[in-house]
Structure 1
Amino acid sequence: MRNILLLSSDRYKNLNSFDWCASILNDFFAKTKQIALVPYAQVIDGFDEYEKTLKNKINSKIVSIHNDPINILNDSDGILVSGGNLFVLLHRLQKLNLLDILKDKIENSITYAGWGAGASVLSEDIKTCNDLPILYPSNLKALGILKYQIITEYIPQDREYSMKLYEYFKLNQNSSVFALPYGSALKIHNDSALVMGNEGVLKLSEYYEQYFKIGDFIKL
C-alpha cells in the first residue's frame, strides 16, 4: 500500500514558504509519531537550520536524518524529503547508500511526503530534471516508486522547457509525465491520486496533454 503526498514546491505566489501547504502536510501526517526529514537536496541552508524551519511548520515530531540516517529512518513512521536540487539529492542518496532503504520503506506503506526534488525523486529517473547538475550522481536512476516522471514547479507558459520535454518524448515515446505547477499537490493512495492544493495538474505525453482540476481522482 502506498501512502504518498507530492507537492510542487513549498512556495506559491507571494506567500511565505509552506503557508499554502502547511495544513495539507499536517493533515497528511496527523497520525504519524515521528517524521524522518531527508534534507539532502538543500544546498544553501544548513541541515540543522532547515530542520528548525520545518519544526515550526509541522506539528508532528521531526528529526533530520543527517546525523544518524539508518537509525532515524528505522525509528520513524513517516518520511519527509525536502526540495532543493535534484542532482544533489540523488548524488547524496547514492553516496550514503540510502536509495534501497527508502524504496523499501515506501513500498512497505510508510507515510511519505516530498516537494520539489523530494517529489521528483520518486520517478524512475531524473531525465526530465530542470536543475543545474552542480553535483553528478553516479547514474540518473531514482527511486522508481512511480512508473512515470514527476515534474515540479512546472510553468505551462515556459516555451523553452516545453521544447526540452518535446525532445524527451521523442526519445522516450512510451513515457508519461505528471507536471505539477506551483501550488498543486497529488495525494497518492495505492493506484489512485487526488488532486489537491490551489492549482490543477497536467498529464503529458508525446501525443496528448490532459488537465486534472482540484478534487479530481486520477487512476495511475
Structure 2
Amino acid sequence: MTAHVLMLSSSRQGSEPYLEHARAHIFAHLGDIRDLLFIPYAAVTQSFDAYVEAVASALPECKVVGLHTFDDPALAINNAKKNGQAIVVGGGNTFHLLSKLYANALMVPLKHAIADATPYIGWSAGSNICGQSIRTTNDMPIIEPPSFDALDIVPFQINPHYTDYQPPGHNGETRDQRLAEFTALNPSTPVVAIREGTALVLSKRTLTLKGNKDGFIFLGNDKKAIQSGQDLTQLLNQES
C-alpha cells in the first residue's frame, strides 16, 4: 500500500480559529497540491454547501469542491488523483458520514483511491473512518449505517478528541472507561487515542504521531503513552 494519509484529531485546538492549528499539517501533507475534493457528509445541522464554504474560508490557498455537487461521486473519487486533487473528509457525526458513504457506494472507491496514493486528509469523523471500524467514535448513533466497518486504512481503532479530563461531580463513564469496555471485548485490537491538536500521519509505509501532545495506545488491559514524533509503524503489522 502506498497510502498517504493525514488523520487529524480535530479541526480546532482550544479556542483558535477553524483549522488554524491544522494548517501546517495540511500543507505539509499536500505538498504542491491545492485542489481539494471535500466530502461534507459528516455535517448534520449545517448544509453541505455551508460546510464546503467554511473549509474554503479556512484554507483560502486551496480550491475546495464538494463531492455532493457531482452527479457521479464515485467517478469523482476515482478521478481525484488524475485531476491533481487530494481527498478531504471533515468532522461532524461519524455515523452520518459512514451512512452516506455506504448509501452512495463510495467505500470501495475511497479504499482504492487511498491505496493508489491519492492524498487523503481527515479530521475527527474523517479520521475515525480510517480505522477498522467506527466502534470507538465519541459520537451519538443518530443514524444506523449498514455496517460499522470503516475504510480499514490502518489495522486498529482510532479515538479522536481524546481526553482524560473528568468534570468534577460528573458520574458518567470517563473516556478511558469507555475505551476499556471496547478492549475488554476486543483484547487484540489496539485503540490509538489522539488528543486535540495532534494527528497520525501514514506515508511511505510509516506511521507517526505529530503535534505537541502525547497520545495513548489502549490494548487489552494496558494503556501505553506514545510521544509526539514517535514511530508507530509496528502498529501497521498488528493482527487483530
The two structures share one fold, judged by TM-score above 0.5: yes
CA shift at 1:22, angstroms?
1.4
Length-normalised TM-score, structure 1: 0.94
Match in the other structure for 2:99: 91
Please say which of residues 200-209 and 119-128 is displaced more in the overlay: 200-209
Q: For structure 2, list consecutive stretches of 5 or more residues without a partner in the other structure.
A: 167-172, 236-240
Runs of 4+ in 1 over 4 A off after TM superposition: none
Query: How many residue pairs end up in the alignment?
Result: 220
Question: Helix, strand or coil: the match of 1:151?
Answer: strand
Corresponding residue for residue 40 of structure 1: 41
- Partner residue of 2:11? 10
State the match for 2:89 in structure 1: 81
Mapped partners of 2:225, 2:175: distance in 1: 18
Q: State whether structure 2 residue 122 is matched by structure 1 residue 121.
A: no
Alignment partner of 1:188 is 2:202: yes
Alpha-carbon offset, residue 182 of structure 1? 0.9
Q: CA contact under 8 A between 1:21 and 1:197: conserved in structure 2?
A: no
Alignment-mate amino acid for residue 206 of structure 2:
S
| Pick aligned residue for 1:70 from 68, 74, 85 | 74
Deviation, structure 1 residue 64: 0.8
Aligned 8 A contact 2:164 2:174 in 1: no
Distance in 2 (CA, whole Å) between partners of 1:2 and 1:139 is: 23
Match of 1:212 in 2: 226
CA–CA separation in structure 2 for the residues paired with 1:50 and 1:188: 26
Which of 107, 111, 117 in structure 2 is aligned with 1:103? 111
Give the stretch that moved more between structures: 141-150 or 194-203.
194-203
Aligned-pair CA distance for 1:33: 4.8
In the alignment, which residue of structure 1 is the partner of 2:238?
none
Distance 1:164 1:195 in 2: 22
Report sequence identity in percent: 28
1:37-89 deviation line (CA, Å, top 9, x unaligned) = 01100112211111111112222322110011234323423110000101001
CA distance in structure 2 between the partners assigned to 1:2 and 1:47 by the alignment: 27
Q: CA RMSD in A?
A: 1.5
Quote the offset at 1:192 in angstroms. Answer: 2.0
AA aligned to 1:129 is: T
Q: What SS does structure 2 have at the residue aligned with 1:56?
A: helix
Q: 2:170 maps to which residue?
A: none
Match of residue 179 from structure 2 = 165
Q: Which sits farther off after the overlay, 78-87 or 16-25? A: 16-25
Q: Which runs of 5+ in 1 are unaligned?
A: none
Q: Take 2:144 and 2:13, find their aligned partners in 1: how far apart are those partners?
A: 29
Greater shift after overlay, 129-138 or 202-211? Answer: 202-211
Q: Deviations over 1:192-217 (max 9, x none)?
A: 22221232221111232222222222
Deviates more, 1:176-185 or 1:210-219: 210-219
Q: Name the residue aligned to 2:58.
A: 57
Residue equivalent to 1:175? 189
In structure 1, C-alpha distance between the alignment counterparts of 2:142 and 2:134, rounded to whole Å: 14
Moved more, 162-171 or 172-181: 162-171
